[in-house]
Amino acid sequence: MPDLLTLFCELCRIPSPPGKERLVADYVLAYLRELELDPQEDDSGPRVPSDSGNIVCRLPGAQEGGVPIMLCSHLDTVPPQGPIEPVVTDGIVRNATGTILGADNKAAIAAMLEAARRIVEEHRPHAGVELVFTTVEEVGLQGAKHLDLGSLEAKVGYVYDQAAPIGEVILGAPYHRELYASFIGRAAHSGIAPEEGRSAIVACARAIADFRLGRIDEETTANVGIVRGGVARNIVPGHCELEAEIRSHNEKTQLGLIEEMLESIAFAAEQSECRVETKLVEIYRGYRFKPDDLPVAIARDALASCGFEPKLGLTGGGADANVFNAGGLPCVNLSNGMAHIHSPEEEIAVDDLERMVGVTLALVDAARASGAD
């Protein structure tokens, strides 16, 4: 079987944008079957949609006592803008071709597969280990949302999906909702009969000008990321739409801010003599752990045993951990050393790939040594 660096580079070379994970899923399935394991692919693909389902693999040899754990990574990356050819320079893996490397989340896949190999070949004792590989994480955590959590035996879970030096443990992630608004005015020739028009762009601009955007407080952010409207310079625009997102670790604060924005949208439409249609979509729910909660305690023990000082913090982004926590499986997101993700500068140290294998094995050991309460 390939060594860890070769494994990682082979995974990175396989393009796997959201919904097109089939080739990398096949690689993962083949690797696990070569270990004489029995990975299962679920039927979520058409519903997500993706050309692959989620993959779940239970390692044999679980012993009584301790805490069964789940380890999770996602199969997709943000869409690459060209071929991926990993190169190693001064101990750092980067892509030579000017697009993403795919360390998010291929570094996690590689660490999980290599750790599984060592557990199997060394007959390493454990309290239960399940490997989960999800699809379409980069677009709303869709694969995880279609995973049957009831089929898992794990009591706690770990996702390696935080771009930071190894040692960071995410205690909480925000609630994330998206807001869509479509302003409907009346088109008219701007040079001949502008008074007959009702500008949807003006209505949209009035609403946005009234929004509170950016960092609202230490727990809350809001942004308008897309505005579309108009068809020509000489036509009063009859339609304009905006897309916004609101994130907060405090759901009450989030919902209050959304209500403000809806009121601003309605008022702007009325003042501009336009109609408006709105839609609110929950992308994922937030979560918050205490430092002594079981999944955090296991992670802290594992990291400390590997020589890392655990750093507890919050994030403004989401991961599959949000979905698992909302579904009743306590799941912590851990950093894995990747940097500059979603960009041509994406990179990871070769040493960090090996260190995350060590952390994975330490999680297995710490979970086996932990009490279920």
Tokens 């918050």, located at residue: 288
Q: How many residues does the chain have?
A: 373
Is residue 228 a contact partner of residue 172, using CB atoms and an 8 Å limit?
Answer: no
Task: Tell me the pTM.
Answer: 0.93
Sign for the pseudo-dihedral over CA of 245, 247, 252, 256: negative
Q: Which CATH number goes with the domain that contains 278?
A: 3.30.70.360
252, 284, 316 — which closes off a domain?
Answer: 284
Shared domain for 133 and 39, answered yes or no, is yes
Tens of pLDDT, residue by residue over 330-345, are 999 999 999 999 999 9
Shared domain for 292 and 149, answered yes or no, is yes
Q: Which CATH number goes with the domain that contains 165?
A: 3.40.630.10
Tens of pLDDT, residue by residue over 312-323, are 999 999 999 999
253, 284, 315 — which closes off a domain?
Answer: 284
Tens of pLDDT, residue by residue over 85-110, are 999 999 999 999 989 999 999 999 99
Which residues pair with residue 349 across a beta bridge?
Answer: 92
Tens of pLDDT, residue by residue over 105-152, are 999 999 999 999 999 999 999 999 999 999 999 999 999 999 999 999
240, 263, 284 — which closes off a domain?
Answer: 284
Q: What is the average pLDDT across 61-83?
A: 95
User: What is residue 71's three-state secondary structure?
Assistant: strand
Q: Could you tell me which residues come within 8 angstroms of residue 205 by beta carbon, excluding any fewer than 6 positions away?
A: none
Shared domain for 164 and 24, answered yes or no, is yes
Q: pLDDT over 70 for what percent of the chain?
A: 99
Tens of pLDDT, residue by residue over 174-199, are 999 999 999 999 999 999 999 999 99
pLDDT in the model for residue 373: 46
User: What range does the domain containing 222 cover?
Assistant: 175-284
Shared domain for 179 and 142, answered yes or no, is no
* Total domain count, the chain: 2
Whether 39 shows a pLDDT value over 90: the answer reads yes
Q: What is the average pLDDT across 223-251?
A: 98
pLDDT in the model for residue 1: 79
Shared domain for 147 and 184, answered yes or no, is no
**Is the pLDDT higher at 373 or at 216?**
216
Shared domain for 22 and 151, answered yes or no, is yes
Q: Where are the beta strands (DSSP E) in 250-347?
A: 275-284, 287-288, 311-314, 331-335
pLDDT in the model for residue 372: 46
Shared domain for 361 and 225, answered yes or no, is no
Shared domain for 51 and 142, answered yes or no, is yes
Catalytic machinery residues? 76, 137
Q: What is the average pLDDT across 277-290?
A: 97
Is residue 187 a contact partner of residue 210, using CB atoms and an 8 Å limit?
Answer: no
Shared domain for 268 and 316, answered yes or no, is no
Whether 371 shows a pLDDT value over 70: the answer reads no
Is residue 168 a contact partner of residue 311, using CB atoms and an 8 Å limit?
Answer: yes
Shared domain for 136 and 64, answered yes or no, is yes
pLDDT in the model for residue 265: 98
Shared domain for 140 and 11, answered yes or no, is yes
Shared domain for 136 and 198, answered yes or no, is no
